[in-house]
Amino acid sequence: MNRKLIAGNWKMNGLSAEAEALAGDLARRYRGAGAPAFDMLLCPPAPAIGLVGRTIAGSGLALGGQDCHADPKGAHTGDISAEMLGDLGCSHVIVGHSERRQDHGETDEQVAAKAAAALGAGLIAVICVGETLEERDAGETLDVCGRQLAGSLPPGANPDTVVIAYEPVWAIGTGRTPTVDDVGVTHSHIRGTLSGRIAGAERVRILYGGSVKPSNAAELMAVANVDGALVGGASLVADDFWAIGAACG
Ligand code: PGA
Protein backbone atom coordinates (compact mmCIF):
# COMPACT_ATOMS: atom_id res chain seq x y z
CA MET A 1 0.00 0.00 0.00
CA ASN A 2 1.30 3.45 -0.88
CA ARG A 3 1.73 6.10 1.77
CA LYS A 4 -1.20 8.49 1.51
CA LEU A 5 -0.83 12.05 0.24
CA ILE A 6 -3.34 14.65 1.37
CA ALA A 7 -3.09 17.66 -0.92
CA GLY A 8 -4.84 20.99 -0.36
CA ASN A 9 -5.75 22.98 -3.44
CA TRP A 10 -6.55 26.44 -2.13
CA LYS A 11 -7.54 27.65 -5.61
CA MET A 12 -7.99 31.44 -5.74
CA ASN A 13 -8.40 31.82 -1.99
CA GLY A 14 -6.15 33.21 0.69
CA LEU A 15 -4.90 36.74 1.31
CA SER A 16 -1.62 36.98 3.20
CA ALA A 17 -3.02 36.96 6.72
CA GLU A 18 -5.34 34.01 6.07
CA ALA A 19 -2.69 32.06 4.21
CA GLU A 20 -0.16 32.56 6.98
CA ALA A 21 -2.64 31.59 9.70
CA LEU A 22 -3.83 28.44 7.91
CA ALA A 23 -0.35 27.30 6.93
CA GLY A 24 0.99 28.04 10.41
CA ASP A 25 -1.80 26.09 12.06
CA LEU A 26 -1.24 23.03 9.84
CA ALA A 27 2.53 23.22 10.23
CA ARG A 28 2.18 23.16 14.03
CA ARG A 29 -0.16 20.18 13.86
CA TYR A 30 2.03 18.25 11.43
CA ARG A 31 5.20 18.88 13.40
CA GLY A 32 3.43 18.15 16.68
CA ALA A 33 2.06 14.86 15.37
CA GLY A 34 5.52 13.33 15.43
CA ALA A 35 5.55 10.97 12.50
CA PRO A 36 2.17 11.36 10.79
CA ALA A 37 1.03 8.39 8.73
CA PHE A 38 0.39 10.61 5.71
CA ASP A 39 2.16 13.21 3.61
CA MET A 40 0.54 16.63 3.44
CA LEU A 41 0.88 19.11 0.59
CA LEU A 42 -0.31 22.73 0.48
CA CYS A 43 -0.95 24.39 -2.88
CA PRO A 44 -1.68 28.06 -2.19
CA PRO A 45 -2.38 30.65 -4.87
CA ALA A 46 0.82 31.90 -6.51
CA PRO A 47 1.12 35.23 -4.63
CA ALA A 48 1.05 33.38 -1.28
CA ILE A 49 3.53 30.63 -2.14
CA GLY A 50 6.60 32.44 -0.78
CA LEU A 51 4.88 33.37 2.46
CA VAL A 52 3.43 29.89 2.96
CA GLY A 53 6.82 28.35 2.18
CA ARG A 54 8.48 30.43 4.90
CA THR A 55 5.65 29.65 7.33
CA ILE A 56 5.88 25.87 6.92
CA ALA A 57 9.69 25.65 6.71
CA GLY A 58 10.99 22.70 8.73
CA SER A 59 7.50 21.33 9.47
CA GLY A 60 7.57 18.42 7.02
CA LEU A 61 4.67 19.85 5.02
CA ALA A 62 5.22 20.04 1.28
CA LEU A 63 4.54 23.05 -0.92
CA GLY A 64 3.10 23.10 -4.43
CA GLY A 65 1.83 25.37 -7.18
CA GLN A 66 -1.58 25.11 -8.86
CA ASP A 67 -0.35 25.44 -12.45
CA CYS A 68 2.78 26.20 -14.44
CA HIS A 69 3.70 27.24 -17.95
CA ALA A 70 5.27 24.72 -20.31
CA ASP A 71 8.31 26.94 -20.93
CA PRO A 72 11.04 27.56 -18.37
CA LYS A 73 11.01 31.34 -19.03
CA GLY A 74 10.19 33.93 -21.63
CA ALA A 75 7.55 36.31 -22.95
CA HIS A 76 4.42 34.89 -21.28
CA THR A 77 2.82 37.72 -19.36
CA GLY A 78 1.12 36.57 -16.19
CA ASP A 79 2.38 33.02 -16.36
CA ILE A 80 4.60 31.18 -13.89
CA SER A 81 7.29 28.64 -14.75
CA ALA A 82 7.94 25.40 -12.97
CA GLU A 83 11.44 26.67 -12.21
CA MET A 84 10.01 29.68 -10.42
CA LEU A 85 7.88 27.38 -8.29
CA GLY A 86 10.93 25.28 -7.48
CA ASP A 87 12.82 28.44 -6.62
CA LEU A 88 10.14 29.27 -4.04
CA GLY A 89 10.50 25.86 -2.42
CA CYS A 90 7.75 23.95 -4.19
CA SER A 91 8.21 20.22 -4.67
CA HIS A 92 4.91 19.69 -6.53
CA VAL A 93 2.69 21.40 -9.05
CA ILE A 94 -0.89 20.59 -10.02
CA VAL A 95 -1.42 20.43 -13.79
CA GLY A 96 -4.57 19.90 -15.81
CA HIS A 97 -7.05 20.67 -13.06
CA SER A 98 -10.53 20.66 -14.60
CA GLU A 99 -10.91 24.35 -13.77
CA ARG A 100 -7.82 25.02 -15.93
CA ARG A 101 -9.11 22.69 -18.63
CA GLN A 102 -12.48 24.50 -18.57
CA ASP A 103 -11.55 28.13 -17.84
CA HIS A 104 -8.42 28.17 -20.01
CA GLY A 105 -9.24 25.53 -22.59
CA GLU A 106 -6.20 23.43 -21.67
CA THR A 107 -5.84 20.29 -23.77
CA ASP A 108 -4.23 16.99 -22.83
CA GLU A 109 -1.29 17.96 -25.02
CA GLN A 110 -0.77 21.21 -23.12
CA VAL A 111 -1.15 19.43 -19.80
CA ALA A 112 1.51 16.91 -20.86
CA ALA A 113 3.82 19.79 -21.83
CA LYS A 114 3.26 21.45 -18.45
CA ALA A 115 3.90 18.17 -16.68
CA ALA A 116 7.09 17.73 -18.70
CA ALA A 117 8.18 21.22 -17.65
CA ALA A 118 7.49 20.31 -14.04
CA LEU A 119 9.66 17.20 -14.27
CA GLY A 120 12.34 19.23 -16.04
CA ALA A 121 12.41 21.61 -13.08
CA GLY A 122 12.65 18.73 -10.62
CA LEU A 123 9.03 19.01 -9.47
CA ILE A 124 6.45 16.25 -9.06
CA ALA A 125 3.49 16.80 -11.40
CA VAL A 126 0.05 16.20 -9.91
CA ILE A 127 -1.89 15.41 -13.08
CA CYS A 128 -5.67 15.76 -12.86
CA VAL A 129 -8.23 13.82 -14.88
CA GLY A 130 -11.97 13.40 -14.55
CA GLU A 131 -15.24 13.19 -16.43
CA THR A 132 -18.05 15.72 -16.66
CA LEU A 133 -21.59 14.86 -15.57
CA GLU A 134 -22.63 14.47 -19.19
CA GLU A 135 -19.80 12.03 -19.82
CA ARG A 136 -20.63 10.11 -16.68
CA ASP A 137 -24.30 9.86 -17.61
CA ALA A 138 -23.25 8.58 -21.03
CA GLY A 139 -21.22 5.84 -19.34
CA GLU A 140 -17.92 7.29 -20.59
CA THR A 141 -16.11 7.76 -17.27
CA LEU A 142 -13.42 5.14 -17.82
CA ASP A 143 -12.85 6.06 -21.46
CA VAL A 144 -12.52 9.76 -20.65
CA CYS A 145 -10.18 9.23 -17.71
CA GLY A 146 -8.05 6.72 -19.61
CA ARG A 147 -7.80 9.02 -22.61
CA GLN A 148 -6.98 12.12 -20.55
CA LEU A 149 -4.38 10.21 -18.58
CA ALA A 150 -2.69 8.71 -21.63
CA GLY A 151 -2.63 12.13 -23.30
CA SER A 152 -1.41 14.04 -20.26
CA LEU A 153 1.47 11.85 -19.09
CA PRO A 154 4.86 13.41 -19.82
CA PRO A 155 7.89 11.47 -21.01
CA GLY A 156 9.85 10.36 -17.97
CA ALA A 157 6.77 9.82 -15.85
CA ASN A 158 7.47 7.37 -13.05
CA PRO A 159 6.24 6.79 -9.48
CA ASP A 160 8.65 9.41 -8.17
CA THR A 161 7.80 12.13 -10.69
CA VAL A 162 4.03 12.01 -11.08
CA VAL A 163 0.93 11.78 -8.92
CA ILE A 164 -2.47 11.29 -10.56
CA ALA A 165 -5.63 12.92 -9.23
CA TYR A 166 -9.00 11.55 -10.27
CA GLU A 167 -11.52 14.34 -9.89
CA PRO A 168 -14.98 13.87 -11.36
CA VAL A 169 -15.87 17.39 -12.53
CA TRP A 170 -19.43 17.03 -11.23
CA ALA A 171 -18.14 16.24 -7.73
CA ILE A 172 -15.93 19.31 -7.38
CA GLY A 173 -17.38 21.83 -4.97
CA THR A 174 -20.86 20.28 -5.20
CA GLY A 175 -20.96 18.14 -2.07
CA ARG A 176 -21.64 15.11 -4.29
CA THR A 177 -19.26 12.19 -4.60
CA PRO A 178 -19.30 8.96 -6.58
CA THR A 179 -20.03 5.80 -4.62
CA VAL A 180 -17.00 4.10 -3.14
CA ASP A 181 -17.57 1.29 -5.64
CA ASP A 182 -17.43 3.73 -8.54
CA VAL A 183 -14.28 5.33 -7.14
CA GLY A 184 -12.71 1.89 -6.84
CA VAL A 185 -13.55 0.99 -10.43
CA THR A 186 -12.16 4.23 -11.84
CA HIS A 187 -8.97 4.12 -9.74
CA SER A 188 -8.39 0.54 -10.78
CA HIS A 189 -8.83 1.56 -14.42
CA ILE A 190 -6.35 4.40 -13.94
CA ARG A 191 -3.88 1.96 -12.37
CA GLY A 192 -4.30 -0.33 -15.36
CA THR A 193 -3.75 2.53 -17.80
CA LEU A 194 -0.56 3.46 -15.95
CA SER A 195 0.63 -0.14 -15.95
CA GLY A 196 0.75 -0.20 -19.71
CA ARG A 197 2.84 2.95 -19.78
CA ILE A 198 5.26 3.23 -16.92
CA ALA A 199 7.37 0.88 -14.87
CA GLY A 200 6.42 0.49 -11.23
CA ALA A 201 2.90 1.78 -11.89
CA GLU A 202 1.66 0.22 -8.66
CA ARG A 203 3.75 2.78 -6.76
CA VAL A 204 2.21 5.83 -8.47
CA ARG A 205 -0.05 7.61 -6.04
CA ILE A 206 -3.59 8.06 -7.33
CA LEU A 207 -5.55 10.67 -5.37
CA TYR A 208 -9.31 11.05 -5.30
CA GLY A 209 -10.65 14.63 -5.42
CA GLY A 210 -14.13 16.16 -5.39
CA SER A 211 -16.04 17.10 -2.23
CA VAL A 212 -13.71 15.22 0.12
CA LYS A 213 -14.58 16.23 3.68
CA PRO A 214 -14.05 14.84 7.18
CA SER A 215 -17.33 12.91 7.06
CA ASN A 216 -16.49 10.93 3.90
CA ALA A 217 -12.68 10.83 4.02
CA ALA A 218 -12.30 7.54 5.90
CA GLU A 219 -14.48 5.56 3.51
CA LEU A 220 -12.91 7.12 0.43
CA MET A 221 -9.36 6.62 1.70
CA ALA A 222 -10.10 2.95 2.42
CA VAL A 223 -10.90 2.20 -1.24
CA ALA A 224 -8.34 0.08 -3.09
CA ASN A 225 -6.00 2.15 -5.26
CA VAL A 226 -6.91 5.40 -3.51
CA ASP A 227 -3.59 6.78 -2.28
CA GLY A 228 -4.77 10.08 -0.90
CA ALA A 229 -6.96 13.07 -1.61
CA LEU A 230 -6.89 16.33 -3.51
CA VAL A 231 -9.02 18.64 -1.42
CA GLY A 232 -10.44 22.03 -2.38
CA GLY A 233 -12.98 23.67 -0.08
CA ALA A 234 -12.22 21.60 3.02
CA SER A 235 -8.49 22.39 2.72
CA LEU A 236 -9.24 26.00 3.66
CA VAL A 237 -10.36 25.02 7.16
CA ALA A 238 -7.49 23.69 9.29
CA ASP A 239 -9.70 21.44 11.44
CA ASP A 240 -11.33 19.86 8.39
CA PHE A 241 -8.15 19.41 6.40
CA TRP A 242 -6.39 17.92 9.37
CA ALA A 243 -9.31 15.57 10.02
CA ILE A 244 -9.06 14.34 6.43
CA GLY A 245 -5.40 13.51 7.05
CA ALA A 246 -6.26 11.79 10.30
CA ALA A 247 -8.80 9.65 8.42
CA CYS A 248 -5.92 7.95 6.61
CA GLY A 249 -5.54 5.72 9.63
P1 PGA B 1 -13.50 20.40 -3.64
O2 PGA B 1 -12.41 20.66 -4.81
O3 PGA B 1 -12.81 19.59 -2.58
O4 PGA B 1 -13.88 21.78 -3.17
O5 PGA B 1 -14.62 19.66 -4.26
C6 PGA B 1 -11.50 19.66 -5.18
C7 PGA B 1 -10.60 20.17 -6.27
O8 PGA B 1 -11.08 20.83 -7.20
O9 PGA B 1 -9.38 19.92 -6.26
Structure confidence by residue, pLDDT tens digits, 144-162: 999 999 999 999 999 999 9
| 235: amino acid identity, one letter | S
pLDDT of residue 249: 73
Q: Is 172 in the pocket of ligand 1 (CB under 6 A)?
A: yes
What is the number of the ligand 1 atom nearest to the C-alpha of 231? 3
User: Ligand 1 centroid to 74 CA: how many Å?
Assistant: 31
Q: What is the pLDDT of residue 131?
A: 98
pLDDT in tens, 234-249: 999 999 999 999 999 7
pLDDT at 34: 86
Tell me, using a 6 A CB cutoff, whether residue 209 lines ligand 1.
Answer: yes
Nearest alpha carbon, ligand 1 atom 6: 232
Percent of the chain with pLDDT over 90: 98
Spatial distance between the Cα atoms of 167 and 79, rounded to a whole number of angstroms: 24
Query: With a cut of 70, which residues of the chain have pLDDT below it?
Result: none
The reply to whether CATH 3.20.20.70 applies to domain 4-246 is: yes
- Predicted confidence at residue 99, as pLDDT, reads 98
Query: Can 167 be counted among the known catalytic residues?
Result: yes
- Ligand 1 centroid, distance to 200 Cα (angstroms): 28
Q: Is 210 in the pocket of ligand 1 (CB under 6 A)?
A: yes
Among 230, 235, 240, 241, residue to substitute to test ligand 1 (most atoms within 8 Å of Cβ): 230
Atom of ligand 1 nearest to the CA of 171: 5
Q: What distance in Å separates the CA atoms of residue 27 and residue 30, rounded to the nearest whole number? A: 5
**pLDDT value at position 54?**
98
Please give the number of the atom of ligand 1 that sits closest to the Cα of 212: 3
pTM of the model: 0.98
Nearest atom in ligand 1 to 210's CA: 5
pLDDT in tens, 86-106: 999 999 999 999 999 999 999
Please report the pLDDT score of residue 41 as a whole number: 98
Q: Specify whether the CB–CB gap between 117 and 81 falls below 8 A.
A: yes
Q: HSE-up of 96 (CA within 13 Å, CB side)?
A: 34
Q: What is the domain partition of the chain in residue ranges?
A: 4-246
